[in-house]
Amino acid sequence: MANQEISGIVMKYPQERRFALAAMQDMQRALSYIPREGLELLAEHLQCPMAELYSMATFYKALSLRPRGKHIIKLCNGTACHIRGSVNLRKCVSEILGIEAGETTPDGLFTLEIVNCLGACASSPVILIDDIFYGDVTAEQVPEILSAYCEKETI
């Protein structure tokens, strides 16, 4: 299943090196990570060393070699968010979920990422979960925001 999906993504692109990043981003979106098979197939398709694709996969923040959680929590630590207390939110999220930045919860539900500026500085501090923005977040609101995602899963 996954292999079919991967080859579907890879074959969609012309055999030109410039599509390497785009193909890997598609894989990331479809599978929540770049599996080894994905790198192998893409390297063959683009006729380039797999090591070069590997170095891209580890260089770009949008790409990951390990599966990410179902919900991606992007906690903004841009300057505006930083001086308006994003550090406290980070502590709070980490405590509730038991994970640090870059980690995924054991149940695969959440991945916590610390990002630099989501461009919503006027609403700082900001948390982006999947594609929903939460602005002017305070530490007290964090449990409530997160529990909404947990509940969705149990229903």
Task: Give the residues lining the site for another protein (CB under 8 A).
Answer: 16-22, 25, 46, 52, 55-56, 59-63, 74, 77-80, 82-85, 87-88, 92, 115-124, 126, 131, 133-135, 138-140
Shortest Å distance, C-beta 98 to another protein: 17
**Per-state percent for the chain, helix, strand, coil, to nearest 5:** 55, 10, 35
**Between 131 and 151, whose beta carbon lies closer to another protein?**
131
**Between 118 and 146, whose beta carbon lies closer to another protein?**
118
Shortest Å distance, C-beta 36 to another protein: 19
Contact by Cβ (8 Å): 67, 104: yes
Shortest Å distance, C-beta 104 to another protein: 17
Contact by Cβ (8 Å): 75, 127: yes
Count of CA atoms in the C-beta half-sphere (13 A) of 75: 27
**Between 107 and 130, whose beta carbon lies closer to another protein?**
130
Contact by Cβ (8 Å): 10, 35: no
Local structure of residue 13 (DSSP, 8 states): S
